[in-house]
Amino acid sequence: MKKVLVLVLVTIATSAFAINPGNYKAVYKLNNEPTFDALVRYLDVDETQADQLKYVFQLTENKMKSAMKSENELAVDNALLFNVGNAKYILTNNQYKKYLVVLNLSINHESEELLTQK
């Protein structure tokens, strides 16, 4: 029973990152000033966290551009994991959960406009 439960959990966890490369527009949108400001307000981050997130988003965008140019899907996924991993380090648990919800909604439903709504 434990093995089945662990297998299900691993499958669910890894499927969260199996994303169509055509849907990465949301990651680029994070660097957009109005989107970033809305995300900062929604996550209720302090000034230091906001600066750190902005830096991580810029690095992520550069990694994404490089990976997309070379059409390397693994590098694209690694860039997204870089973003998520650093966000986890910067944000509190509650903020991180909110961030993952926004990111997943934006990527999986191609709803990048959700990020800019108040």
Give me the residue spans of the domains in the chain: 2-116
Q: What is the pTM of this model?
A: 0.69
* Segment 37-70, tens digit of pLDDT: 999 999 999 999 999 999 999 998 888 888 888 8
Sign, CA dihedral 103-56-76-6, equals negative
The pLDDT of residue 112 is above 70:
no
Give the 3-state secondary structure percentages of the chain, helix then strand then coil, rounded to 5.
80, 0, 20
